Amino acid sequence: MRLTLPSGQRTAGTDPCARTRAARLTPTWSASAGRCASGWIPGNGAWNRRGVRSPPRLPRTHGTVRSALVATGPTDGTQWQDLLAVSLLRGGKCGVSENRLRARSGGPGLGSEQGVSAPVSLDRQQRAGIKILIVDDERTLCESCATVLESEGYDVTTSTRGEEALELLRRKPFDIVLIDLYMSQVPGLELLKAALAAKPDAVAIIMTGNPSVQSSIQALELGAWEYLPKPFSAAHLQVLVGRAAHVVMAARAANAAREDQKNLQGHSDKIVVLGNSPAFRQAIELARKVAPTDASVFITGESGTGKELIAQFIHHHSRRSDRMLVAVNCAALPETLLESEMFGHVKGAFTGAVRDKPGLLEVANGGTLFLDELTEMSQAIQAKLLRVIQDGVVRRVGSTTTDAVVDVRFIAATNRDPQEATEAGILRRDLYYRLRVVPIRVPPLRERTEDIPLLAEHFLKMYWARHREPGSPMPRWSRSAIQALQARPWRGNVRELENVVEHMVVFLDPGCEIRPEDIPVLDDHEPVPRELVTFNAGAMEEKYHAARDRVLVEFERSYLVWLVSRSGGNMSKAARIAGVDRTTLYRLMEKHGLQRDTIITAKLG
């Protein structure tokens, strides 16, 4: 298919040769090659001596924002990480190389030469349901873009005046909007705000012939999905709008799934997250904000805090919720097996590889890949993973060609300090910056003790229904039992609390009141606090007997407070830890005027 453009495009300008040869040099579009004569949509460029506009090349970069940044600063991955974070947080997709564009457009390159599998294309009926608005004060560019997109079946509207575009945005919702950054009447950023105000889930693409770091960041901060520098080829436009159309269709499918879920169950949340503490709510709110975007997320937190639950929450509130969430535990598999599981392998790659097998990256195409315990992954696999994140290109183990191009959102997690891991050479710095677009820290349970009653009640209901007869009365928590739970250190966090409650459910009587002594202590190993063994240097100034008596009293009192807190108020357990009988323990507490409930209450305060 060839689309003829207005001949005035060639005669515009000051070159006399172009005006005299306009009839012979009428530029044409070739949809198969993705070119307009020389292959570029008008926007800027130079004229050569023969009066023909030279085709400036698009830079071979990994994302439009990064290309602008590379032109102005270092490229070691540490200077532009925060700017890249801004782009991806707002939905920008800074990971599309020229090869990836070619593979997705079906043009020459990886897609045609090496059999790369591109995403499933939308049919003409689906494209007809996608409304696109193109706003640019260059009428030729508007008409050229509209011709290309209408030939693919999209419902396209154009506007060359800012006021007219504002009125269109108010009257009619558009799924995709392409806006020139520098409009004469109304600034492009004002049009961007109006488009997203009229339809918050619209996909906005900013076009400009004069890109800069500041304008890129500003546009992406306001909600732009992608930044498109001029000039751009027809294939580039087709691929970019095709990607945006996939986003629109995925969002529609996700919204429909949520509505179905809401009609069936009365609510739209598929993942239950419990907690009202400020630290935990902050993590949830951050997860809720980043979920609708395609930004990579790096979750940190101790073991048992619920990092995978946060990853599930993000996925099920994202545009990809109708696709798979694939979890990979990087610590559970040896290096060779992990590589084969993630990237797949071809027949004969190793002993036992009797057939081609797609990896989890291909399985997660269109969805989300959760990389748990990322710091346990070897450096070699980290380097291979980085290539996939940048280009989306997957090469199976034993393959000599590119086997697939995938579109995957990445969520990583670790229980270690990632900054220390990068400094120690355990985690590649460039991979860390690629994945740490939005960092989320999940607080340990000891920092959110106000959530323990809610979690304990939830686990009690869940395991009582699982392990006991239906209809049997469920036990209830006493105030002292809740205080005992809140006084514990919970080194295993929520997972340990869940284990303790399930253990209790097996032995509790139906309808009983749960007391502190009913709560098992499954881990007796806890270091003695430093303050119990620190010698008071002031005692050196006193007489021996007076100093000994005072230090002994301080030690006994501190030890008893620590012991009762450690046992959660369970005096039998405290006596067993101390190696004395309960009578001796009660006598010592009476001697120092200590009460069990007072100690637990003070611990909570």
CA neighbours closer than 13 Å in the CB half-sphere of residue 104: 26
Is 430 inside a domain boundary? yes
pLDDT at residue 348 tops 80: yes
Task: Quote the CA–CA distance of 135 and 168 in Å, as a whole number.
Answer: 10
Task: Quote the CA–CA distance of 370 and 534 in Å, as a whole number.
Answer: 45
Is 266 inside a domain boundary? no
Is 118 inside a domain boundary? yes
Q: How many domains does the chain have?
A: 4
pLDDT at residue 299 tops 50: yes
Q: What is the pLDDT of residues 517-551, one digit of tens each?
A: 888 876 654 544 544 444 555 556 677 777 777 78
Give me the torsion for CA of 92, 94, 99, 101, rounded to 10°.
10
Question: What is the mean predicted confidence (pLDDT) over 298-324?
Answer: 93
Is 183 inside a domain boundary? yes
Q: Do 288 and 419 sit in the same domain of this protein?
A: yes
Does this model's pTM top 0.95?
no
Q: Do 212 and 314 sit in the same domain of this protein?
A: no
Q: What is the pLDDT of residues 185-204, one digit of tens each?
A: 888 888 998 888 888 888 99
**Token pair for residue 492?**
């295993």
Q: Do 296 and 179 sit in the same domain of this protein?
A: no
Q: Do 430 and 289 sit in the same domain of this protein?
A: yes
> Please, which pLDDT band fits residue 44 given cuts at 50, 70 and 90?
very low
Domain of 587: which CATH number?
1.10.10
Q: Do 162 and 97 sit in the same domain of this protein?
A: yes
Q: Do 418 and 502 sit in the same domain of this protein?
A: no
Q: Do 341 and 217 sit in the same domain of this protein?
A: no
Q: Do 236 and 342 sit in the same domain of this protein?
A: no
Q: Do 537 and 508 sit in the same domain of this protein?
A: no
- Domain-terminating residue out of 198, 229, 249: 249
Is 261 inside a domain boundary? no
Q: Which amino acid is at 305?
A: T
Q: What is the pLDDT of residues 135-185, one digit of tens each?
A: 998 888 999 999 999 999 999 999 988 888 888 988 888 999 999 988 888
Closest CA to 586 of 570, 566, 571: 571
Phi and psi at residue 435, to the nearest 5°:
-90, -25
**Highest-confidence range of 208-217, 275-284, 566-575, by mean pLDDT?**
275-284
pLDDT at residue 109 tops 80: no
SS3 content of the chain, % helix, strand, coil (to 5): 50, 10, 40
Task: Find the range with the poorest average confidence among 62-66, 186-190, 299-303, 366-370.
Answer: 62-66
pLDDT at residue 565 tops 50: yes
Greater model confidence, 282 or 488: 282
**Token pair for residue 71?**
């032109």
The pLDDT, as a whole number, for residue 267 is 36
Closest CA to 292 of 83, 65, 90, 63: 90
Domain of 479: which CATH number?
1.10.8.60
Percent of the chain with pLDDT over 70: 73
Other beta carbons within 10 angstroms of residue 595's beta carbon come to 12
Which residue range is the domain that position 591 belongs to?
Answer: 530-604
Q: Do 390 and 428 sit in the same domain of this protein?
A: yes
Q: Do 221 and 297 sit in the same domain of this protein?
A: no
Domain of 245: which CATH number?
3.40.50.2300
Q: Do 208 and 329 sit in the same domain of this protein?
A: no
pLDDT at residue 390 tops 80: yes
Task: Find the range with the poorest average confidence among 193-197, 204-208, 255-259.
Answer: 255-259
- Domain-terminating residue out of 422, 443, 464: 443
